[in-house]
């Protein structure tokens, strides 16, 4: 702190910067701000936040004003005798016991009601999605729709979606700041929650429990769409991957299912070879908005960068750690191998 001891103005100069960070964190337009909720779950959590916030403001202002008043009013003046010595004051003691009890009740009752509201789905027989967390990506399974996908959660607008939360490895936490959250995903245990999107659009989700090196890169998108669009998406997801005819993409498929050994960790529906479950299902990869669990836009360049050096985009990821193509110099991918793989993956519409 010697930096600030000799230059106290530096500390003062940091204050506006700090304020900028604080205010930016609350700015409703931020894609992960909870101050712009769009579903009943996030809305009830926001209401609860305001309720507790204003209760705390009331306590702060009341206590500080009383303190200030007492300090000024009863300040010792020159020549004052010693104050009256007392022990105990029943009236005061009752007041400062009852007042906090009332205040705690004002905070506790809406809190408990919101906890029960958030825990109990208003439509338990409605749609279901099983979310499985992995270091560091998301698996979304729709048992009723017979769809399995990764990293992008599609839900129909204005419908209750029942979510069960599991993890394949460490503790993660499922959080869609504008729609609902957070609920932990604990090994060996299945947690439940429900969500409902009330606005069509793309919303950002994020793992909210530190889960290792790329915790911050464990993101996902929630696509809230009309029932018709959702049904169309389900229909297209159910289709197996189309086998490419274009020569470069065909070469990519041969690599994917051969020397590059992508098949051992990734599933592509319709392929008898690519049945892996260690990594994301890639059947309709090209239809997704983002790559690498919500970290970069799904473009040809980003896909190439991802395959070339996955560790730069997502430090510590299992593909980079375990795949022979990144660990055995004899099996490394050449530029033309990567071009072929990119062409194949781009063909998975
Ligand atoms: Cu998963 Cu943090």
Total number of domains constituting the chain: 2
pLDDT at 209: 95
**Cβ-based burial of 24 (10 A; exposed 0-12, middle 13-18, buried ≥19):** exposed
- C-beta separation of 93 from 130 below 8 A: no
Instruction: Tell whether 296 is covered by a domain.
Output: yes
Who's near 111: CB < 8 A, 6+ residues apart? 48, 52
Instruction: Tell whether 235 is covered by a domain.
Output: no
Which ligand 1 atom lies nearest to the CA of residue 135? 1
- Residues forming beta bridges with residue 139, ordered by sequence position: 132, 150
Q: Tell me which residue has its CA closest to atom 1 in ligand 1.
A: 172
Q: Which residues line ligand 1 (CB under 6 A)?
A: 133, 136, 172, 207, 209-211, 215, 218
Percent of the chain surpassing pLDDT 90: 66
Among 97, 119, 141, identify where a domain stops: 119
Give distance in angstroms: CA of 217 to centre of ligand 1.
8
- Structural domain harbouring 102: 13-119
The rounded radius of gyration (Å) of the Cα atoms in the chain is 28
Give distance in angstroms: CA of 131 to centre of ligand 1.
13
Check whether 101 has a pLDDT greater than 90.
Answer: yes
Which of 141, 348, 165, 194 shows the shortest CA–CA distance to 257? Answer: 348
Q: Looking at residues 261-273, what average pLDDT do you find?
A: 89
Which ligand 1 atom lies nearest to the CA of residue 185? 1
pLDDT tier for residue 343 given thresholds of 50, 70 and 90: very high
Instruction: Tell whether 187 is covered by a domain.
Output: no
Task: Label residues 278-313 b or e (16+ Cβ within 10 Å = b).
Answer: ebbbbbbbeebebbbbbbbebeeebbebbbeebeeb
pLDDT, tens only, 129-185: 999 999 999 999 999 999 999 999 999 999 999 999 999 999 999 999 999 989 999
pLDDT tier for residue 54 given thresholds of 50, 70 and 90: very high
Instruction: Tell whether 134 is covered by a domain.
Output: no
DSSP line for 196-208: ---S-EEEEEEE-
Instruction: Tell whether 242 is covered by a domain.
Output: no
pLDDT, tens only, 231-242: 999 999 999 888
Q: What's the CATH code of the domain at 306? A: 2.60.40.420
The rounded mean pLDDT for the chain is: 90
pLDDT tier for residue 2 given thresholds of 50, 70 and 90: low
Other C-beta atoms closer than 10 Å to the C-beta of 168 total 14
Give distance in angstroms: CA of 268 to centre of ligand 1.
25
Q: What is the pTM of this model?
A: 0.83
DSSP code of residue 278: S
Q: What's the CATH code of the domain at 35? A: 1.10.287.90
Q: Which helix (H) or strand (E) holds 56?
A: helix 40-73
Check whether 104 has a pLDDT greater than 90.
Answer: yes
Give distance in angstroms: CA of 185 to centre of ligand 1.
9
pLDDT at 25: 66
Instruction: Tell whether 97 is covered by a domain.
Output: yes
Give distance in angstroms: CA of 208 to centre of ligand 1.
6
Among 119, 142, 177, identify where a domain stops: 119
pLDDT, tens only, 15-41: 888 888 777 766 777 778 888 888 899
pLDDT at 13: 81
pLDDT tier for residue 72 given thresholds of 50, 70 and 90: very high
Q: Are strands 290-291 and 161-167 parallel, antiparallel or unpaired?
A: unpaired
Instruction: Tell whether 284 is covered by a domain.
Output: yes
DSSP line for 87-120: ---HHHHHHHHHHHHHHHHHHHHHHHHHHHHHHS
Instruction: Tell whether 139 is covered by a domain.
Output: no
Percent of the chain surpassing pLDDT 70: 97
Among 96, 119, 142, identify where a domain stops: 119
């Amino acid at each position: 702190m010697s930096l600030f001891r000799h230059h106290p103005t530096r500390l003062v100069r940091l204050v506006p910067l700090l304020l900028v960070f604080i205010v930016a964190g609350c700015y409703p337009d931020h894609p992960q701000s909870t101050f712009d909720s769009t579903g009943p779950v996030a809305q009830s959590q926001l209401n609860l936040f305001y309720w507790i916030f204003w209760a705390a403001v009331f306590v702060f202002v009341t206590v500080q004003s009383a303190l200030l008043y007492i300090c000024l009013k009863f300040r010792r003046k020159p020549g004052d005798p010693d104050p009256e010595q007392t022990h105990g004051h029943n009236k005061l003691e009752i007041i400062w016991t009852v007042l906090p009890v009332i205040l705690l009740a004002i905070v506790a009752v809406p809190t408990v009601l919101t906890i029960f509201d958030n825990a109990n789905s208003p439509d338990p027989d409605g749609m279901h999605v099983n979310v499985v967390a992995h270091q560091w990506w998301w698996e979304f399974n729709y048992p009723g729709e017979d769809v399995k996908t990764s990293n992008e959660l599609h839900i129909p607008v204005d419908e209750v979606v029942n979510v069960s939360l599991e993890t394949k490895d460490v503790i993660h936490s499922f959080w869609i700041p504008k729609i609902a959250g957070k609920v932990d995903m604990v090994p060996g245990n299945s947690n439940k929650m429900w969500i409902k999107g009330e606005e069509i659009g793309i919303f950002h989700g994020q793992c909210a429990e530190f889960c290792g090196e790329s915790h911050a890169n464990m993101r996902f998108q929630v696509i809230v769409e009309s029932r018709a669009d959702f049904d169309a998406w389900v229909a297209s997801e159910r289709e197996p991957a189309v086998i490419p005819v274009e020569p470069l993409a065909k070469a990519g498929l041969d690599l994917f299912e051969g020397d590059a050994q992508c098949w051992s960790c990734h599933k592509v529906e319709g392929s008898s070879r690519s049945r892996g479950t260690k990594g994301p299902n890639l059947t309709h990869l090209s239809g997704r908005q983002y790559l690498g669990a919500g970290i970069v836009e799904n473009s040809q360049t980003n896909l190439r960068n991802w395959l070339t050096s996955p560790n730069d985009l997502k430090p510590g990821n299992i593909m980079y750690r375990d795949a022979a193509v990144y660990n055995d110099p004899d099996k490394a991918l050449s530029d033309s191998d990567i071009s072929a793989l990119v062409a194949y993956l781009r063909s998975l519409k």
